[in-house]
């Protein structure tokens, strides 16, 4: 979670000072003096489980009568900065802000902005957050862009999708739909189907489902499986155990897919499970379909032109009898039109519910409505700058590679001994052949125990010994004769 001190409202009603009290079942509106410090919504990790439940309850109240809350955010303005196309996310955020009584600024086509003149994302954020708007809703093609924006913004930054990394507000919308349709999220069995490699909605959704203790059945399009770094994080942070799944009971939906079962709940049972066909999927509570994210494909991912498709006959499978069908939209041909009439299909309701959940998000982050319960978010680890040498992040789509002026390389520590680190922006694990200390100018082998004595801010990563020597570092005694 990223926190900064926000500007003093000074009692100005246009900036959140005195407001009319709201009566009845309406949420309590905070005065400017009570408003909390600025919070950003960059990752689904920035919201605790307790806060999610509180947001769902708040969204329920907004959904009961969306027109009744125009006195919640009067005088407040949100800015939509969309470097990529969007329909539902942008319009639902703007609808949400207008229904709360605020205003909106829209830059939906950034190719007509100062970006074409070479303005950096960091400078754009500082300008827009410096007086134009009270919140920034950002969509950007580079992974980690929202994290960078939060470092420079004096107002809340809301990640509306950054590359293939995360889309936390879509995740909150998806979770809210499960809350409405199923009454709970804990313990549910959810199928994620389609392009699991590049879908940022899938990545955020998978992390959140794991935190809630739900079980995930991955039914990927061939070649578009869940990335290793997502699976590794699910395993390391949420104790999720991946294993092969026997998904024959899902019928045509999984007939041409190597399904994987991910569960945080049954490690002991799974350790005793020896069926070569995999864990048998009996029934599921929801099917979450995704389109092929062709705008992120390199051109070789879809070797087979037949993409997964959910049709009426697939919905006849006994295991899907009680499953709701979800989709973040837009769709192509992955859900047949004939499925629209099925009462289990909720994807258009899912899109509509994006407005009340985003009303809840905005009113909360703007400090206008307190949540009934807080709890500690999963949180963002402390990050450190890379003091010298080349950018160690291997991800060409990382904001630290696409915006070099203000996105200096930064890392977080995954494990201290042996040392494992990740890019602070895109979360990819960093590889390094040797590790140096910027104070001593000595480099060590990655497995050297002496590395634990180096302060994080003095760590330097090199791809090989030659690079370290070229930077003026000398080898440790253990490497001197190597």
Give the catalytic positions in this structure: 88-89, 117, 139, 167
* Residue 90 near residue 108, CB atoms below 8 Å: yes
3 state SS of 410? strand
Cα–Cα dist 203/13, whole Å: 40
Assign residue 352 a region: left if phi > 0, alpha if psi is -120 to 50, beta otherwise? alpha
CA distances from 436 to 159, 243, 454 (A): 34, 38, 9
Q: Per-residue b/e over 257-270, b at no fewer than 16 CB within 10 Å?
A: bebbbbbbeeeeee
Enter the DSSP assignment of 36: P
Q: How far, in whole angstroms, is CA 137 from its chain's centroid?
A: 14
Cα–Cα dist 454/435, whole Å: 10
Residues pairing with 263 in the sheet = 241
Residue 295: Cβ within 10 Å count: 10
Residues pairing with 143 in the sheet = 398
Cα–Cα dist 176/361, whole Å: 12
**What is the residue-wise DSSP string for 368-395?**
SS--S----------EEE--SSS-----
3 state SS of 81? strand
Strands 241-246 and 279-280, sheet pairing:
parallel
Quickly tell me which residue has 């092969």 as its tokens. 244
Residue 424's nearest CA partner among 399, 443, 442 is 399
Instruction: Kindly state the helix (H) or strand (E) to which residue 269 belongs, with its residue range.
Output: helix 267-271
Cα–Cα dist 133/103, whole Å: 9
Cβ-count burial of 75 within 10 angstroms (0-12 exposed, 13-18 middle, 19+ buried)? Answer: middle
3 state SS of 229? helix
User: Would you state the structure tokens that stand for residue 161, as one six-digit string?
Assistant: 């999708």
Please provide residue 359's backbone torsions phi and psi, each rounded to the nearest 5 degrees.
-60, -40
User: Would you state the structure tokens that stand for residue 278, as one six-digit string?
Assistant: 């995999």
């Amino acid at each position: 979670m990223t926190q900064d001190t926000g500007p003093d409202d000074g009692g100005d009603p246009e900036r959140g000072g005195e407001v009319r009290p709201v009566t009845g079942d309406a949420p309590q509106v905070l005065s400017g003096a009570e408003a909390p410090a600025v919070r950003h919504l960059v990752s689904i990790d920035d919201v605790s489980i307790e806060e999610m439940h509180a947001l769902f309850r708040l969204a329920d109240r907004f959904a009961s009568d969306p027109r009744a809350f125009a006195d919640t955010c009067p005088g407040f303005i949100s800015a939509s900065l969309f470097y990529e196309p969007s329909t539902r996310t942008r319009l639902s955020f703007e609808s949400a802000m207008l229904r709360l009584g605020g205003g909106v600024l829209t830059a939906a086509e950034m190719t007509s902005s100062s970006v074409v003149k070479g303005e950096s994302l960091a400078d754009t954020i500082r300008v827009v957050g410096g007086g134009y708007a009270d919140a920034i809703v950002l969509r950007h093609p580079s992974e980690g862009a929202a994290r960078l924006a939060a470092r420079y913004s004096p107002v809340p930054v809301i990640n509306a999708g950054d590359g293939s990394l995360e889309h936390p507000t879509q995740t909150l919308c998806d979770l809210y739909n499960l809350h409405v349709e199923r009454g709970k999220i804990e313990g549910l069995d959810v199928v994620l189907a389609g392009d699991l490699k590049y879908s940022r909605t899938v990545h955020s959704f998978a992390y959140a489902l794991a935190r809630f203790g739900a079980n995930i059945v991955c039914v990927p399009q061939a070649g578009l499986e869940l990335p290793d770094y997502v699976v590794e994080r699910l395993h390391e942070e949420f104790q999720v155990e991946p294993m092969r799944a026997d998904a024959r009971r899902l019928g045509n939906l999984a007939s041409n897919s190597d399904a994987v079962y991910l569960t945080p709940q049954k490690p002991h049972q799974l350790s005793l499970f020896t069926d070569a066909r995999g864990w048998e999927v009996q029934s599921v509570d929801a099917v979450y379909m995704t389109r092929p994210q062709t705008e992120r494909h390199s051109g070789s991912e879809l070797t087979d032109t037949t993409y997964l498709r959910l049709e009426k006959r697939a919905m006849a499978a006994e295991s899907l009898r009680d499953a709701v069908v979800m989709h973040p939209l837009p769709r192509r041909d992955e859900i047949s039109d004939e499925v629209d009439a099925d009462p289990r299909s909720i994807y258009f309701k899912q899109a509509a519910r994006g407005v009340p959940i985003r009303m809840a998000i905005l009113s909360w982050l703007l400090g206008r409505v307190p949540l009934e319960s807080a709890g500690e978010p999963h949180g963002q680890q402390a990050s450190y700058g890379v003091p010298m040498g080349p950018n160690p992040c291997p991800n060409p789509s990382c904001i630290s590679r696409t915006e070099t002026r203000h996105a200096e390389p930064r890392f977080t520590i995954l494990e201290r001994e042996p040392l494992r680190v990740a890019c602070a922006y895109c979360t990819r694990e960093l590889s390094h052949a040797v590790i140096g200390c910027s104070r001593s100018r000595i480099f060590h082998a990655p497995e050297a125990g002496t590395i634990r004595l180096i302060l994080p801010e003095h760590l330097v990563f090199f791809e090989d010994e030659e690079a370290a020597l070229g930077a003026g570092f000398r080898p440790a005694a253990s490497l001197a004769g190597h």
